[in-house]
Amino acid sequence: MSTKSVACDFGERQIDVDVPAHASVVQFEDPKTFLADPEAAVREALARPIGSPPLSALAKPGMRVVIGFDDPTRPPTPWQTILPVLIEELLKAGIRERDILLVSANGAHRKWRPEEFRNYLGPKIFDRFFPTRQIVNHDCHDPAGLRFLGTTERGGYLEYNKAFVDADLPIYVGTISASYVGGYTGMGTVIGLGSVESIASNHSHYYWDHPKSTTGDHRTMLYRGLKAHMHERLEQAMGKRVFYVNSVSGIRGRMVGVFAGHSPELDGPAWDLADTFNLYPVPQADVIVVGLGSAFAYGSADNPLVGLVGSCYPSRIWVNRPVLREGGVIIALNPSTGNYDTRTFPSTPAVIDLFRRHHSIGELQEHEGDVTHRPEFLHLYHHHYAYHPRHPFWLFYIGDYTLKRAGAVIMAGAKNPGAYRDIGVRPERDFKDAWQTAEKIVGKNPRTIVAPRFWSRRLLKFDVRE
């Protein structure tokens, strides 16, 4: 078999791996053009939004405005570009600066430290609003900061950030980027500003493992449909609509387009633009090789559940047909030690221990309530920048589709092999051993996709053509 060498992420460095010469090597590439004047584009979007009156017509003197924004898990450029223009336009419309509150839409992620907000939002916004407590973290488990608005006929639990729900003008600044959570991100209010029970109502094992949710097709995906349903019911219960400002971006957050208005009206045009550079034609694969850096998604790859998500995520973000054939193999590359900060991920060991004592990931659902309410975990979440204790369940649910579909999910190079055996992933000493194992499962000269920098550049969608 003729081969070629591909440099792949491997923790803090890259390693060369030999794959079949016919292997498809896929990594995100920036579009050819970006916004020449991003600030001017934001002003234009605010003046001519989609499905909404202009911002200048919505904002009235005396209003309380709450701006939700995607939390600092993404490149900061869009928020450092959009927020100053947005706030300037609000002030022009007569909104008082003291009546503007910025809320980081953390969902069940950890809260963010002041220095992290400063780096993310930029010093101008931070120094202007943080000293007066006008930049805050959303807390998904604080009854005093949440408002319950009812349930929906599809099981959605409508409980959201109280300040945002009660605002005269609720605004959300987010992005449209490729994601297994809905095909494209968007409607950030539904997850980012929800209570833990609200998030759990759409992050259930049923929805995340459902065959119609294990795809990157935003137009047909069951999970995204549930988000849209909850968003519609939320706006009905609020008696007002959320004004969105969403960017479409490339590597390092460089802006390709910006869209303002209401969802779902603005979604289609934003999706159309994103489709022009996020879809990558590939054949269906027998083997997918994915490079994993030292940290991505939810933090350090030394956390085996982060490693699980990093390994399994690519196989969930396809259109037309599954990118990994039934019985195929995932080979992830990372020197994961299994030694991670348990103050940041305090409930992870407990949830992994539960998995050891059950036959399937789906059986973990019965323990969500117990782990969610453990005081020692909640104390760290509320006061010490830890992830919410329910979060590890959802990481397991992300991986379940791939663990069941694949002949094997392999972590090549793991320095703590037992940490991966405990979560259903097969550890191998290095790529050579992993490849030999893969060939035993799928045969010689397999159809192969290599995603060498899947996480370190920008996420993409596999457009499976054959």
Q: How many CB atoms lie within 10 A of CB 202?
A: 24
- Sign, CA dihedral 24-25-26-31, equals negative
Which H or E element spans position 346?
none
Length of the chain: 466
Instruction: Mark whether 437 and 327 lie in a shared domain.
Output: yes
Amino acid at 106: N
User: Across residues 239-251, what is the average pLDDT?
Assistant: 98
User: Across residues 109-138, what is the average pLDDT?
Assistant: 98
Instruction: Mark whether 20 and 164 lie in a shared domain.
Output: no
Please say which residue of 223, 244, 277 terminates a domain. Answer: 277
* CATH number for the domain harbouring residue 341: 3.90.226.30
Q: Which residue has the tokens 């054939």?
A: 325
Instruction: Mark whether 271 and 302 lie in a shared domain.
Output: no
Residue 180 is predicted with a pLDDT of: 85
* pLDDT per position as a tens digit, 67-93: 999 999 889 999 999 999 999 999 999
Q: CA gyration radius for the chain? A: 22
Position 439 confidence tier, pLDDT thresholds 50, 70, 90: very high
Please say which residue of 253, 277, 301 terminates a domain. Answer: 277
Instruction: Mark whether 109 and 16 lie in a shared domain.
Output: no
Position 242 confidence tier, pLDDT thresholds 50, 70, 90: very high
Judged against a pLDDT cut of 80, whether residue 1 lies above it is answered with no
- The pTM for the full model equals 0.96
CA distance 202 to 272: 26
Q: Is 338 left (phi over 0), alpha (psi -120 to 50) or beta?
A: left
User: Across residues 214-237, what is the average pLDDT?
Assistant: 95
Is the bond leading into 269 cis (omega within 30 degrees of zero)?
no
Instruction: Mark whether 251 and 218 lie in a shared domain.
Output: yes
Is the bond leading into 264 cis (omega within 30 degrees of zero)?
yes
Q: What are phi and psi of 261, to 5 degrees?
A: 135, -155
From the list 162, 181, 176, the residue with the least C-alpha distance to 109 is 181
Instruction: Mark whether 190 and 296 lie in a shared domain.
Output: no
DSSP alpha helices (H): ranges in 156-266?
Answer: 162-166, 188-192, 196-202, 205-209, 222-238
CA distance 49 to 106: 26
* CATH number for the domain harbouring residue 246: 3.40.50.11440
CB 23 within 8 A of CB 4: yes
CB 38 within 8 A of CB 32: no
- Sign, CA dihedral 113-114-115-117, equals positive
CB 327 within 8 A of CB 409: no
CA distance 403 to 399: 6
CA distance 57 to 94: 11
Instruction: Mark whether 217 and 122 lie in a shared domain.
Output: yes
- DSSP annotation of 33 reads -
What integer best gives the mean pLDDT of the chain? 97
Euclidean distance between the first and final Cα of the chain, in Å? 22
- Cβ neighbours for 98, distance < 8 A, ≥ 6 positions apart: 132, 134
Instruction: Mark whether 397 and 455 lie in a shared domain.
Output: yes
Residue 419 is predicted with a pLDDT of: 97
Amino acid at 72: P
Instruction: Mark whether 180 and 307 lie in a shared domain.
Output: no
Instruction: Mark whether 256 and 180 lie in a shared domain.
Output: yes
* HSE-CB for 367 with a 13 A CA cutoff: 21
* pLDDT per position as a tens digit, 46-66: 999 999 999 999 999 999 999
* pLDDT per position as a tens digit, 136-187: 999 999 999 999 999 999 999 999 999 999 999 999 999 999 998 889 999 9
Instruction: Mark whether 314 and 257 lie in a shared domain.
Output: no
* HSE-CB for 398 with a 13 A CA cutoff: 23
CA distance 315 to 448: 13
Instruction: Give the structural domain span for 328.
Output: 3-29+283-464
Number of structural domains found in the chain: 2
- DSSP annotation of 23 reads P
Identify any residues that bridge with 330 across adjacent strands, giving them in sequence order: 288, 409
* pLDDT per position as a tens digit, 326-384: 999 999 999 999 999 999 999 999 999 999 999 999 999 999 999 999 999 999 999 99
* HSE-CB for 169 with a 13 A CA cutoff: 27
Residue 182 is predicted with a pLDDT of: 83
Residue 466 is predicted with a pLDDT of: 81
Largest Cα–Cα separation, the chain: 72
Instruction: Mark whether 273 and 287 lie in a shared domain.
Output: no
DSSP string, 138-156: --TT-GGGEEEEEE-TTS-
DSSP string, 364-421: GGGGHHHHHT-HHHHHHHHHS-PPPTTHHHHHHHHHHHHHHHSSEEEEET-S-HHHHH
Residue 181 is predicted with a pLDDT of: 81
Amino acid at 35: L
Q: What 3-state class would DSSP assign to 195? A: coil
Please say which residue of 239, 254, 277 terminates a domain. Answer: 277
Identify any residues that bridge with 175 across adjacent strands, giving them in sequence order: 247
